[in-house]
Chain A
């Protein structure tokens, strides 16, 4: 119910692959989106490539969400996120859409 049905679209090609280092955009558009403040600007590793989903920035306002964006599971290192606080080796995985990622 919370996601559009899967549509296999051969025109959608994932830009990143498992193992790639990616940086999450450090921006805060004045619309609904799903990128928490605490991960913006941080670098992580792609651990899983999911399928494409509609963009929440558009779906939230009644739009169709197109063009859909590939969704990635990105693993961040806790000690990068919270210097001094975190136990080394602990990690944090988030789901980030392709239009929020760049190569790192």
Chain B
């Protein structure tokens, strides 16, 4: 059986949907940095083609795709590719998030 459904989560052309929210949002400081991070991964030769990034974004579950912001999808895709290419491990990423959460809640960072 195909691992991909008939219509993948990103393939939305022609589906019914509601009114368009036209409110403007400037990118946040962190969104610029995540944007830069992906571009720097190309520059470093870790990512080779944008198709790689699209492929891992398209592999997100419908729930994740729907709930995540645009740059959260980019982060998720960046993490998946960095793990796939052996640059980072899932464990060290999770450990770093734990540290950041501990920092944010005012604990002493390890």
A32 at the interface (CB under 8 A from B): yes
By the criterion CB–CB under 8 Å, are A32 and B13 in contact? no
By the criterion CB–CB under 8 Å, are A81 and B3 in contact? no
Give the bracket for the number of chain B residues in contact with chain A.
10 to 19
Among B4, B7, B42, B52, point to the contact of A59 (Cβ < 8 A): B52
Interface SS, B side: loop
Contacts of A2 in B (CB 8 A): 49-50
Tell me the bound Cα distance from A28 to B6 in angstroms: 7
Give the bracket for the number of chain A residues in contact with chain B.
20 to 34
How near does chain A come to B81, taking the closest CB pair, in angstroms?
A: 10
Q: A residues within 8 Å of B by Cβ?
A: 1-2, 4, 28, 30-32, 36-39, 54, 56, 59-62, 65, 81-82
Contacts of A60 in B (CB 8 A): 49, 51-52, 54-55
Q: Which of A32, A39, A61 has the most CB of B within 10 A?
A: A32
